[in-house]
Structure 1
């Protein structure tokens, strides 16, 4: 299915939507739908769930407006529904001071579940001017955008996650005990 008619971004704004994307299983279902629509059976196989569990999570995502039925067809008297993301990208609200970043928690869980031989992880501690910080953020975003445009749904999935940030003073998150 062409995605030309999809909105560019879906902005998560309600509590129901935030709860829907905060669940790791639903995050993985949305990832499975990022390139092409799929049926409940196909989603279950991609994510490694029972069909009933997949159906439950897809219904919650659909109710929150994050996925939608884009096509139906009759198969042996049963209507098969194909689901797709509601937009090309999902924008999450800023977690606020001291709040957990849902996207990074899910990315870390996906990283930990990935085969070790297929990981490229690096952390670098930098000292940058404000201008260098801004330039690096723009370059990272442009690189991610460039490779996202090259994505081919017939190839295996790969995830790129980056976080450029100033650590909390003293290396301790705000609100945590000493």
Structure 2
């Protein structure tokens, strides 16, 4: 089985088929299961709470799009059991374009809403006023921090999601669509 170190760092989503595959919430949750260790259709179905048939359907779409792949097989009572894993450590989505929703943030919010309200969470939104240099520095620091903690990830520990968005919102006059 390929080691996590053998995986490419990133998979760039470039086709409509790949974007459709990654933008479905069920498939997003399947990829979350496969993020740290390979799993069979049965294991995926149990962890995501799907029927095996539905799990198989979604995994096939992800595999056809190149986002997951079979990394190991074994015979169990005459049936070939396939273990699936992510095709890369991370996925890079295309810029959503003007006015298009950002798939990554929609999935992060859906995951947050599905998490236990009793579990510890750190959620914050801050409006800042930064120079171009400060903006670039903060972006670089956030990315470095995420990379640092991803390197510390241990598959035996509970899953944690970190999502951040650093952007300049549209100015009020731009947001109104030039209505004067």
Q: Same fold (TM over 0.5)?
A: yes
1-side partners of 2:52 and 2:125: how far apart?
A: 38
List runs of 5+ in structure 2 lacking aligned partners: none
1-side partners of 2:41 and 2:174: how far apart?
A: 43
**Residues 1-178 of structure 1 aligned to structure 2 (within 5 Å):** 1=1, 2-118=3-119, 119-170=121-172
Deviation per residue, 1:67-105 (Å, 9 max, x gap) = 110100001111000001111111111111111110111
Shift of 1:171: 9.1
Q: How many residues align?
A: 176
2-side partners of 1:171 and 1:139: how far apart?
A: 31
Shift of 1:170: 2.2
List runs of 5+ in structure 1 lacking aligned partners: none
Shift of 1:173: 5.2
CA 1:172 to 1:22, structure 2 compared with 1: closer, same or farther past 3 Å?
Answer: farther
CA 1:46 to 1:173, structure 2 compared with 1: closer, same or farther past 3 Å?
Answer: farther
Runs of 4+ in 1 over 4 A off after TM superposition: 171-175
What is the TM-score of this pair, normalised by structure 1?
A: 0.94
